[in-house]
Amino acid sequence: MLTIYFFSMKRFFLSFLFIFISYIAHSHAYKTEIRSEQIRTLTVYADGDWSSVPVIKMGSENFVEISFDELSHDYKRYAYRVVHCNADWTRSDMNVLEYMEGFSENDMEDGRLSESTLTPYTHYTLSLPNDQVKLTLSGNYAVEIYEKDRADIVLLTACFSLSEEKVQIEGSVTATTDVDNKQSHQQLAFSVNAQSINVMQPLCELKVKVRQNHRTDNEVQNVQPLTVQSGLLKYEHNKDLIFEAGNEYRRFEMTTFKYPGIGINQISFFKPFYNVELLPAEKRLNGYLFDKDQNGRFLIRSQEALDNATGADYFLVHFSLPMETPILDGGIYLNGDLTNNNLDANGKMIYNFERKAYEKSLLLKQGAFNYQYLYRPVKSIKSTPLRIEGSYWETENEYQIYVYYRPSGERYDRLVGFKQIQTAF
């Protein structure tokens, strides 16, 4: 009897463990991120366009291009798997056979070795869909890349979306808001024409998400319409659609080691890297000053390289934000595509008491970069530019609108519409 009891308890424990692990896997929200010190310069573009948002149209010739560098010339056998996600980027309940034609796991083609660079690296590129993978459902997707013999250790995750383009989205951004007269915010208003999909319960079946400049920390989820009439949903006069305008992104260019580019104080060589010391940053709280930026993006480029993908070198870039005393109620973070817009340890500034400045050093590939400093209060997900960058209604921003549809009885969130709206003041 005792043996039977322990056998039953063991089965119960294993069943519970399986359920728990499954719950954790499904509740984890995917994001584009690097999880290995050996991986650098992760990019996710649509149709190879560095200025694009990684959203492609279903049934078209569009593709998503994922690229990254592994900091060695050692041979690696990389593989990838594609995960279908819900609107909140958690794993959906769909089986791989339901959202994809092809094998569940596939090998990546051999990478290309860097040429004439001080830092050796191997450049990898993956395009989706491809001959091995055909995606059959719309929605959000996460690509996990790992070494073939260590499938449980994910080295990086790249996220993109596949849209059906079944609804029409029209909108605009204004500097006049419903709650703010300080000229520091912008308000988004838009409409969704969903007549073609015959939504029965729009308030329940449609999920609308809005991002500003690809950021996720201040993204607005499950926005509710002001009016619904004959399949036309209007999202107006909504406090959730009021955003801090922020400021134009800062920028620097390190396309050569021969002389300092824009935003750079000096370049010097300390083995094994060229070290790039940026000009000390200043708070920008005294009014708006126009500058043409790319809203947080970067472009890989080297004046000495024939092929930027394999000829641009890696420089150690030193950021400095002078401040008399540290901020005790929160942290300062570098934000932009250079940190994949993640407010984590990779972009968190560290206060140097001797120099009285927040500092951070990042190993970055040569090119032109946009970035900004964000302050995030303790125990908060959302950050703000107000303390460092200021916030001005004139700032040029981009807003991304995602419309998901899950009718009653359906098991996944279809992405039926996407639209990017720019300010036009």
Q: What is the predicted pLDDT for the residue at 20?
A: 39
Distance CA 37, CA 109 (A): 21
φ/ψ of 356, rounded to 5, equals 55, 55
Residues in the chain: 425
Given a contact cutoff of 8 angstroms between Cβ atoms, the answer to whether 41 and 298 are in contact is no
Q: How confident is the model at residue 17 (pLDDT cuts 50, 70, 90)?
A: very low
Q: Over the chain, what is the mean pLDDT?
A: 93
Residue 365, pLDDT > 80, answer yes
Residue 4, pLDDT > 60, answer no
pLDDT tens per residue, range 323-360: 999 999 999 999 999 999 999 999 999 999 999 999 99
pLDDT tens per residue, range 76-87: 999 999 999 999
Structure tokens that stand for 268 in this block: 């010097």
Same fold, 30-163 and 168-245+397-422: yes
Q: What is the predicted pLDDT for the residue at 26?
A: 55
Residue 16, pLDDT > 50, answer no
Mean pLDDT of 385-404: 97
Residue 393, pLDDT > 80, answer yes
Mean pLDDT of 10-39: 65
Domain ranges of the chain: 30-163, 168-245+397-422, 250-377
Q: What is the predicted pLDDT for the residue at 412?
A: 97
Mean pLDDT of 159-171: 98
Residue 269, pLDDT > 90, answer yes
30-163 maps to CATH 1.10.10: no
pLDDT tens per residue, range 275-302: 999 999 999 999 999 999 999 999 999 9
Would strands 64-70 and 39-46 be described as parallel, antiparallel, or unpaired?
A: antiparallel
Please, which residues have CB within 8 angstroms of residue 271's CB and are 6 or more apart in sequence?
none
Would strands 314-322 and 273-278 be described as parallel, antiparallel, or unpaired?
A: parallel
Class of domain 168-245+397-422: mainly beta
Distance CA 148, CA 133 (A): 17
Q: What is the predicted pLDDT for the residue at 424?
A: 84
Residue 19, pLDDT > 80, answer no
Given a contact cutoff of 8 angstroms between Cβ atoms, the answer to whether 293 and 247 are in contact is no
Residue 214, pLDDT > 70, answer yes
